[in-house]
A and B are shown apart, each in its own frame.
Chain A
Amino acid sequence: GFLTAEEKGLVNGLWGKVNVDEVGGEALGRLLVVYPWTQRFFESFGDLSSADAIMSNAKVKAHGKKVLNSFSDGLKNIDDLKGAFAKLSELHCDKLHVDPENFRLLGNVLVCVLAHHFGHDFNPQVQAAFQKVVAGVANALAHKYH
């Protein structure tokens, strides 16, 4: 399998405590703050002029919620991420024209947000399991690109 049984336990154990809607908004917001060039996909989102504006932007929160709920659904199919994200991969290539590097950036920002929320519970072993997950999701989303 993609993750060992132990890693699955660590991932699901932590994910069960995550407020997916909130963490989604936080992660997307931080992506736009830390890597401002990612704002290129969100010109219609309104005020992105400062960190505070971005983090409190309603469209950012809504979109972050959408993205992370999709990620969360994908976690239920951890052994077939490519299958789970095939349609979304096509969408991101053909319609959204998003460079897959952005999935890797968002994945790492998500890891930082989880560390921020969970502190000591987000130990090196838990982090390593999540790094595998975010890399797997990023690769799955890039898989149908042509």
Chain B
Amino acid sequence: MVLSAADKSNVKACWGKIGSHAGEYGAEALERTFCSFPTTKTYFPHFDLSHGSAQVKAHGQKVADALTQAVAHMDDLPTAMSALSDLHAYKLRVDPVNFKFLSHCLLVTLACHHPAEFTPAVHASLDKFFSAVSTVLTSKYR
């Protein structure tokens, strides 16, 4: 799977529109993931996962900031995300299936908040982008 020039342009434009809401959307995507796919909560036994949790807000911001970095370095995701790649492989070891759940909930969150931007073509580009990020984050698993 390859991100085309159009995909990169779509993702940059959409993420640009999100601006300072990124952290809020990161937290919402996490909340949606925990709600819809309860098995994902097993990775956060140490968190308060109730609605409005400060820990989920902070973690959502972290996820959003990492994605903002990824958007800025779409031409070389493996290099840009190397440290996070190591973290997920050696410390966090989140089963790869879970990246699909979070990616889907990120799409749902964006669809809710930015209907004008969430055209079919942009939907496709975002899905590819999240898939590419997920692949990089699980690339050192074995």
Measuring CB to CB, which residues of chain A are less than 8 angstroms from any residue of chain B? Answer: 29-30, 33-34, 51, 54-55, 108, 111-113, 115-120, 122, 124-125, 127-128, 131
Interface size of B by CB at 8 A reads: 22
Contact A51-B124, Cβ < 8 Å, known A108-B104, A127-B108, A131-B37? yes
B118 sits at the interface (CB 8 A): yes
Contact A29 B36 (CB under 8 A): no
User: Which of A113, A120, A125, A127 has the most B CB atoms < 10 Å from its CB?
Assistant: A127
Measuring CB to CB, which residues of chain B are less than 8 angstroms from any residue of chain A? Answer: 28, 31-32, 35-37, 104-105, 107-109, 111-113, 115, 118-121, 123-124, 127
Chain A residues positioned under 8 Å from B31 (CB to CB) = 124
B43 to chain A, nearest CB (A): 18
- Out of B28, B105, B120, which one reaches A29, CB within 8 Å? B120
Chain B residues positioned under 8 Å from A112 (CB to CB) = 104, 107-108, 111, 118, 123
Chain A residues positioned under 8 Å from B115 (CB to CB) = 116-117, 119
Q: List 13 A-B contacts (CB under 8 A).
A: A33-B120, A34-B120, A34-B127, A111-B104, A111-B108, A112-B111, A112-B118, A115-B111, A115-B112, A117-B115, A118-B112, A124-B32, A128-B35
Contact A30 B108 (CB under 8 A): no
Chain A residues positioned under 8 Å from B119 (CB to CB) = 51
Contact A120-B121, Cβ < 8 Å, known A108-B104, A128-B36? no
By beta carbon, the residue of chain B nearest A32 is B120
By beta carbon, the residue of chain A nearest B100 is A108
User: Which of B105, B107, B112, B113 has the most A CB atoms < 10 Å from its CB?
Assistant: B112
Contact A30-B35, Cβ < 8 Å, known A112-B108, A116-B111, A122-B108? no
User: Which of B32, B108, B115 has the most A CB atoms < 10 Å from its CB?
Assistant: B108
Chain A residues positioned under 8 Å from B118 (CB to CB) = 112, 116
Chain B residues positioned under 8 Å from A51 (CB to CB) = 119-121, 124
Q: How far is the CA of A33 from the CA of B120 in the complex (A)?
A: 7
